Structure 1
Amino acid sequence: MQDIYIHGGAMTPFGRHPGVLAPELAQQAILKALADADVPAGRIQAVYCANVLGGMILGQLIVRDLGLKGIPVYNVENACASGATGVHLARHALLAGQYDTVLVFGIEQLTALGGGTIPLQRNDHKTDLYAKSGMVLPAVYAMRGTRFLHERDANPSDLAEVAVKNRYHGSLNPYAQQRKTTTVEEVLASRMIADPLTLLQCCPSQVDGAASVVLSTRRPAQARPVKVLSSVVVSGMREEADDDILDAEITARAARQAYEQAGLGPQDVDVVELHDAFTIAELLYYEALGLAPRGDAVALLKSGATRLGGRVPVNPSGGLLAKGHPLGATGVAQMVEILWQLQGRAGERQVADTRIGLTQCTGGGIAGVDHAASSVHLLGV
């Protein structure tokens, strides 16, 4: 199979960017990624723009002023998995030989929405039970958290430990929205959002940001060129009445396919960026990704294995809990973080001796399925 390389990547700081329009924010990430890749804009043969809430033809609007004239622009929306899906589609086109060098970027400006939770389904209040009943993601994950505490004989402090870890990692990341460390006591004392999830156990909803990568079949002239070893996107399957809400089936299925595609296993992974929109999500994904056997997620966390300096650091960027979650940008930003980690460019949060990195991003809530979409990528040097 043709090797696919990440020639370069960049992102903007995640946070509030008052007075900066979404196209400007995206252009910052794009231009920095092109410079990082040492690839002129004229060599880009196609553009993939990932965005959820920014409206029609956003990609064309963004690249209009960048000298990328007349090339295909694909606008990709797949909820929180939009950025990862954009990379997946770009890889398909490269493998097919349709292009040899493409640009993928994600952009979201959630501050423009004015606050509040992100709706599960904006356009389907008649046919989707979750949307019709006003269900929101904090409530969905709170149910998982409640079941987890009951079934695994865990404590609320176990959930809080995830926030403590990721806030510490975020304190080392200049691109993170939240750069203040916290304690278990502070996490548990923060405002209750949906029992047992408190404010500091939920990713910030007021965040803007953009991220971009340059992908190519050409081998870059770098000391540690990073390859996309596998790329998987799957959709959720309709659940039966007795399905286990702690079984992140869609992510486990995507992970199995990604490992098989790359000829690797969980034991080969050195660093992970996963979709910790809520603390309970990270614990469930430890098991779905094969980092811990079923029932051992808390033990893995408490062992320190997923902290910087541990066996397999998870979310060294701070994850969604600290770095922030501008929907369309998240999946691409995860790849940028792993690119930097594999090339030894992650500064204070650098994971030692990395060869293989994994990114995982889920997206969308629909009644009757685990998630609407899930994506897993394996990157390696």
Structure 2
Amino acid sequence: MSTTRDIAVLGVGMHPWGKWGRNFVEYGVKAARDALADAGVRWRDVQFVSGAATIRNGYPGQVAGATFAQALGWQGAQVNTSYAACASGSQALAAARSKILSGECEVALVVGADTTPKGFLKPQPGDRPDDPDWVRFRIGITNPTYFALYARRRMALYGDTPDDFARVKIKNAEHGAENPNARYRKKFSAADVAASPMVADPLRLMDICATSDGGAAIVVSSLTYAKKIGKGNAPRIRAISTVTPTFASALVEMPDIATDSAVAAPPQSFRAALPKKAYEEAAVDPKDVSVAEVYDLSTALELDWIEDLQLCARGEAASLLRSGATKVGGRIPVNPSGGLACFGEAVPAQALAQVCELTWQLRGQAGSRQVANAKVGITANQGLFGHGSSVIVTC
């Protein structure tokens, strides 16, 4: 396999997710220092700082790269800030990768952190009639309703049930109970899920992730630099996909409000295009994937992602789940970290946290949630207004 576009993951770090109510910079700095220590790289040797923006924390959040560089101590590094909603972390990582592959720097630090309000996230002020996500919020389709439409579509097309959605929560809670960085470390039963309030039929409160505070950071480098510091065997980022929807799918990405149950499959989703591009770039086949970290804003959405990643055929994700294949110990573990079900949304840190988990898994450092013989990991997430990402990490 070609390694000309690979970069090394030297170190990863996180600030535990929670509802701490402190400045987001504190979370990012903690994650960054942990990542630097994990990498064995001195802060003064970092040549590029790539920050994932948060739009909820004023100007410092909008220039996150410079904010984190200042907080760590100005030392002359170049800075960048990327915003792509829930894919902001991946975009920031992609910027660092481009700097490294272009030869402009050897080692970079990527950081994302957020402090979020209580309740579900809402769009920022201002009219954006060309933004389909702004439009859906304007007509009353909030995130829970949006994901309930996806869930309803699965029920109509494939016969999935609320019990299947509950199984996703139960599985991820079991994984997250073993993760010291997770906000929610409690196992749940089907009865617990069924007893939680209905938010947007068929999704109950436990089917939908919360908003959280937290941070994640990654130190990446050229393969030459990794070898120079004795980390030639570090996990490698093989691909980063941040494709946008095509014209047609941009119109149909909002799930059909009226779903024809006779249709064999939903319209081609731009979510499916994200991993497709990553697989092509990394020269990796879906059957090679050992572990996946996907964007489970709702339990039903995880099932869509399993199919979008081609880990099973369209319409078969619920069967795969029921078989136990997506649990740690199963054939293809999904969200061994616990996913957003156990973490909640700390938006600019989410995509980076996924890569942190894959790094620990590929190093064999995930403890009791370790996936046996993990060699290839993939991430997937979707953000507002055509943003999304998929990252492939190998060892």
Farther-moved stretch of structure 1 (92-101 vs 209-218): 92-101
What amino acid sits opposite 1:296 in the alignment? E
* Shift, 1:55, TM fit: 2.7
Aligned to 2:305: 285
- Go from structure 1 to structure 2 and tell me whether the alpha carbon gap of 1:5 and 1:68 turns closer, same or farther (over 3 Å shift): farther
Aligned to 1:376: 390
* Shift, 1:121, TM fit: 5.5
Aligned to 2:20: 17
Residue pairs, 1:1-381, within 5 angstroms: 1-18=4-21, 20-53=22-55, 54-56=57-59, 57-110=63-116, 113=117, 115-120=118-123, 122-128=125-131, 129-205=135-211, 207-217=212-222, 218-220=225-227, 221-222=230-231, 224-239=233-248, 245=255, 246-247=266-267, 249-364=269-384, 366=385, 372-381=386-395
Q: How many residues are paired up?
A: 370
What amino acid sits opposite 2:9 in the alignment? I
* Shift, 1:99, TM fit: 1.1
| Distance in 2 between residues matched to 1:202 and 1:156, nearest whole Å | 13
* Shift, 1:344, TM fit: 0.8
- Go from structure 1 to structure 2 and tell me whether the alpha carbon gap of 1:297 and 1:248 turns closer, same or farther (over 3 Å shift): farther
Contact preservation (8 Å) 1:52, 1:78? no
Unmatched segments (≥5 aa) in structure 2:
256-265
3-state SS of 1:14 partner: strand
1:326-358 per-position Cα deviation (integer Å, ceiling 9, x unaligned): 001000011111000000111111111111111
1:146-183 per-position Cα deviation (integer Å, ceiling 9, x unaligned): 12112212211011110110011000111101111001
- Go from structure 1 to structure 2 and tell me whether the alpha carbon gap of 1:265 and 1:124 turns closer, same or farther (over 3 Å shift): farther
What amino acid sits opposite 1:311 in the alignment? R
1:193-239 per-position Cα deviation (integer Å, ceiling 9, x unaligned): 1111100010112x100000001002252484101111111112333
3-state SS of 2:361 partner: helix
- Go from structure 1 to structure 2 and tell me whether the alpha carbon gap of 1:228 and 1:29 turns closer, same or farther (over 3 Å shift): same
Farther-moved stretch of structure 1 (90-99 vs 303-312): 90-99
- Go from structure 1 to structure 2 and tell me whether the alpha carbon gap of 1:257 and 1:348 turns closer, same or farther (over 3 Å shift): same
1:51-81 per-position Cα deviation (integer Å, ceiling 9, x unaligned): 2322332332232132242322211110011
| Distance in 2 between residues matched to 1:42 and 1:103, nearest whole Å | 11
| Distance in 2 between residues matched to 1:50 and 1:272, nearest whole Å | 22
What amino acid sits opposite 2:280 in the alignment? E
1:279-338 per-position Cα deviation (integer Å, ceiling 9, x unaligned): 111000111100010111111111111101001100000001112220010000111110
| Distance in 1 between residues matched to 2:252 and 2:129, nearest whole Å | 25
Q: Give the % identical residues.
A: 35
Contact preservation (8 Å) 1:51, 1:329? no
Contact preservation (8 Å) 1:48, 1:105? yes
What amino acid sits opposite 1:8 in the alignment? G
3-state SS of 1:75 partner: strand
| Distance in 1 between residues matched to 2:371 and 2:192, nearest whole Å | 27
What amino acid sits opposite 2:20 in the alignment? H
* Shift, 1:374, TM fit: 1.6
* Shift, 1:120, TM fit: 4.4
- Go from structure 1 to structure 2 and tell me whether the alpha carbon gap of 1:248 and 1:215 turns closer, same or farther (over 3 Å shift): farther
| Distance in 2 between residues matched to 1:242 and 1:308, nearest whole Å | 34
- The CA RMSD measured in Å over matched residues stands at 1.8
